[in-house]
Structures are given as C-alpha cells and as structure tokens.
Structure 1
Amino acid sequence: MWTWEVENAKGVMVIIHGAGEHHGRYEWLRERWNEEGFHVIMGDLPGQGVTTRRRGHIRSFNEYIEAIEEWIEEAQTYDLPIFLLGHSMGALTAIRALQLRSLPVWGVILSSPALGLKEQPPAFKDVLSKGLNKLMPGKLVQSPLVIENVTRNQRLWREHKEDKLYVKKVSVRWYRQFVEAMNLAFKDMDKFPDVPLLILQAGEDKVIEKFIVRQWFDDMSLSEKIYKEWTGLYHEVFNEPEQDQVFAYAKSFVHLHV
C-alpha cells in the first residue's frame, strides 16, 4: 500500500486496479486526483504487482476484499471523506467489499466493472476448469487479456511490452473465484449500501459485456446512481485518448459529495 498526500486535502481517493495489472499503471490518474486536492491510496492486489504472494494466484476472492479493507482503514486515519474508485476486476472487488463489509465511503466510482465477460469460454473449458479447481487449483493458464483490446492508447501498448509486473498467466482457482464473484455481485445486490454510485462504462468494451453492466445498474435500488457510457472508448476509459473528459466527469461527481 502506498499513500500520496497533499496539503489541505478535501478527501481521500482509494484506487483499485484491475486484473493482471498493478498500481503503477494509475500514475496519471493518481496525479490528477492529487491536483484536485485528494490524498490517494493505492496498492497491488494479492498475487499482482510487487506483492510477495504467488503471481496470478489466490486461494479466495476474500484476499482482495481484505486488501481493500486495509486500504480503507488507512484512509480513515485522515478523518476526511473517502471515495472508492475501482477499474474492471478492481470495480468488482469494490462491489463485493461493499456488499460484505461496512465501509465508510462517501461515494463509489466503477470503471467498466467486471460483471460479465464479453466472450465466454467454450462449455468444455468451463467444465474442465471446475474439475481442475479441485485437483490442480494452482495450475496456471494464459490470460486472455490483450492490451490492444483494452485501450486505443498506443503509448500504453509500447509500455505494456516492457512491463515486467504485468501478470500474463492466472491460476485455475483465480478464474473460478473471479467467476463466482461476478455471480455473487448479482445475488447479493440487496446488500450493497445506499451510497452515491457512478459507473463509467466503455462503449466499445471488448472485455466486459456492457449490457450486463447496465442490467446490474438498473436493478440497483439506490438513492443516487449515475450510468455514463462513453461512446467509442475501449475498456480502460481512464487510459483512452479521451481520458481528460472521463476524469472531468468523475471529478464533478466527487465534488458534488465532498
């Protein structure tokens, strides 16, 4: 976990990265929130980035939730409004953490949340993964994520090739826990707290099925919720060429609740 502080802070932004990546890919976003007067807290989820656990593997999705709890506890030490921002699987982790834990957040931003995959694996592979989950849960398989499918930003394509921290293989157990978490995000919908929610969904998402995200959003009973779809943008909306527009929208949402 790392903390970037500013003077006369208005609040604290806790950022959760997505599958395979690490907090270093959010440097631009971190700087922008600092410029807006927010402390920023980030870390690498278990099995990713510079964490000491086995890369690409978890025993339980709860490991991610426990990490978020630690970050939130650190944010509470400032006695300022806390906001949670998660991307993709990080957004799914935020959802599950809020459904299962009592977290003192003032607002939540979900970027292209992982609530349903755009392309489902063949049925036989799904069945095979269930068997391997019992017999060989640590077996690693190639991640289907391709950098060209998550952003149109060619600078990030080049950086990705040199990024030694990016996880390119995940375990069977990781995959089964990921699928279960997506299912539980729908099953436990009534456990989500009544906090302001903003979803920033990529209009040309090649990773997550945006219609499933919209379904989850529509079924949520919240006093305040906003769904913003960004036409033409790929999965990583904060890394797209239009990132300034996306950030401005997120910033406006946060400033309404400080």
Structure 2
Amino acid sequence: MWKWETEKAPKGIVVIVHNILEHHGRYAWFITHLRRDGYHVIMGDLPGQGQTSRVNRGHIENFDEYREKVLEWIEVAEEYHLPVFLLGVGLGGLIAVNLLEKVNIKLEAVMLISPLFGFQNTVTTRKNFLASSLSSISKDAKFDMNIPLEDFSRDKEIIAEMKSDPLMLQKVSFNWYKSIIESMKETMENIHKINDIPVLIMYSEQDRIADVDQIKLFSQEIKSSEIYIKNWRTLFHELHNEPEKDNVLYYIESFMNNRMNYIGLITEEVGIE
C-alpha cells in the first residue's frame, strides 16, 4: 500500500481499488491530478497482482482476500480524519460494492468506473476457461483470459505501455475466475443490503469487457438518495485512460467537490492541466 499526500490543505482522501490484470503503477497521472485538487490518495496492489506476489500471481484463495485488503486501506484513510471517498475501477468496483454489502463503513461516497458486475459473454474466454478446468483439477492452474488489450482503451500509447509492462497479468487461476464469477452473482443478488450512500457510476455503451446490462441493473436497483450516472457512450472500458480522460477526471473531481460543498467544506473550481 502507498500513500500520496496533497501539498495543499487536504479536502479529503481517495482510496482507489484497481482493475483486473493491472497494478497501482498505472494510476500515476490520475493520482497526480487528485493531489493537485487537494486530495490525499491511498492505493495498493490487490492480492495476486502487481508487486504483491511473484509466486501467486493471478491467483486468490477466495474473494475475502480482496475485501480484507481494501478494508485495510480504508482503515489507514480513516486515520486522517478527513472525508473518505472509495473509487473502484472494473474489478475494484465489484470489490467496493461487495464490501459495502457486508460491512458498515462510513464513507463520504463511492465512485465506480466500469464496475465489473459481469463479463461480456465472449466465446473465447469461456473456451479457455473450460479447457483449463477440464485439463487439470488444480485450483491454481492458470489460463489466459484472452482479453485483447485494445479492448481496454482507444489510446494507442496506453496500449503500448500495457504490452511492455512486466507487472501486467496475462494468466489467472481457475480458482480466481471461479471466485470472481461467484462474487459477481452474490453481489448482484444483495444490492439491497447497501446502506444509503452517495454514488457516482460511470460506464460506456462501448465497453467490451464489463457487462453493461449488469451495470444498468445495478444503477436501477441500488437505493441511494444521491446517485449520479454517467454514460460516456463512445469510450472503452478504462474511461480514465481514454483520450478524453481530462473530461472523465473533471467529472469525478466535480462530484467530490460537490460533496465537500454539501458538508460545508468550500472548494475551489477544478482545473485540469
């Protein structure tokens, strides 16, 4: 886990939970701008990803590992005694929502970017998963998710960086996939257990990785007195890594600053450089 503190008088703190296959290092630009706007940031690598493990890369025993890790980050954030925002990207969005269904946490708001409540129904992914499950009974046997990196972003520089990044995962374990699929189902069945909390949901109709219908269903089912839904329409899965990322960041920071104004902390106008 890492902490990045703003050099300004802090308005709040953002806990970021990253997506499948990736790691915290891909959020440098995002973190820099949050700090410039007056927010501390806490983020780490999820179990089995990034710098957390060389042996168990792409593997978890169960979904509890994710919840426990994110809870640790939130507990560190609470030590600052500032409003805490939880931002989940893709898999991180699934983890954030699943956590809110099970634990009563005091957060200022939760923000979801392309939350992974279900995978797009791709034949190739199913084929590779079935091949792996039939060829070995070992729960840590690995298979290739076979998600084209080009499906994450339309930005060619981002894709080139992903292809050359040694910390990007290429394979995941049978048990990882099973745990994720089971948690997707469980999470969608227990939306009603989430306490009232301000929510920002952002997604795109052109997402080739996350099941957009499940995101829409979640948006309809969650009981929140303050919910904002933004469909970016033409963007791909990683909204924050698209050519329009400045606009995406502006939307997120505006949401947080509005919350700050609501609770009596006056904020300055957001500026993106």
Per the shorter chain, which TM-score range? Answer: over 0.9
Structure 2: gaps (5+ residues) = 261-273
Q: 1:246 aligns with which of 242, 245, 248?
A: 248
Normalised by the length of structure 1, the TM-score is 0.94
1:119 counterpart SS class: coil
Q: How does 1:12-161 map to 2 (within 5 A)?
A: 12-52=13-53, 54-121=56-123, 135-161=137-163
1:145-201 CA-partner distances (Å, limit 9, x unpaired): 221011001111111121000011000000000101110111111111211001110
Q: Among the aligned pairs, what percent are the same residue?
A: 37
Q: 2:218 aligns with which of 210, 216, 231?
A: 216
1:210-253 CA-partner distances (Å, limit 9, x unpaired): 12210111111111111110021000000000001111111111
Q: Distance in 2 between matches of 1:252 and 1:26?
A: 19
Q: Distance in 1 between matches of 2:60 and 2:107?
A: 26
2:99 counterpart SS class: helix
1:105-159 CA-partner distances (Å, limit 9, x unpaired): 11011000001211245777766777789x3110000122221011001111111
Could you tell me which amino acid in structure 2 is paired with residue 6 of structure 1? T
Q: How does 1:190-205 map to 2 (within 5 A)?
A: 190-205=192-207
Aligned to 1:181: 183
Aligned to 1:5: 5
Q: Distance in 1 between matches of 2:246 and 2:50?
A: 26
2:87 counterpart SS class: strand
Call closer, same or farther: CA 1:254–1:229 in 2, change over 3 Å: same
Could you tell me which amino acid in structure 1 is paired with residue 6 of structure 2? V
2:259 counterpart SS class: coil
Task: Check the 8 A contact 2:50/2:167 in 1, yes or no.
Answer: yes
Structure 1: gaps (5+ residues) = none
Q: Distance in 2 between matches of 1:25 and 1:37?
A: 20
Task: Check the 8 A contact 1:202/1:236 in 2, yes or no.
Answer: no
Q: Distance in 1 between matches of 2:192 and 2:167?
A: 36
* Stretch moving more, 12-21 or 209-218: 209-218
Regions of 4+ moved over 3 Å: 120-133
**CA positional deviation for 1:100:** 1.1
Q: Distance in 2 between matches of 1:105 and 1:132?
A: 44
* Stretch moving more, 115-124 or 222-231: 115-124
* Stretch moving more, 82-91 or 46-55: 46-55
* Stretch moving more, 96-105 or 72-81: 96-105
Q: Distance in 2 between matches of 1:105 and 1:128?
A: 42
Q: Distance in 2 between matches of 1:212 and 1:219?
A: 10
1:232 aligns with 2:231: no
Q: Root-mean-square deviation (CA), in Å?
A: 1.8
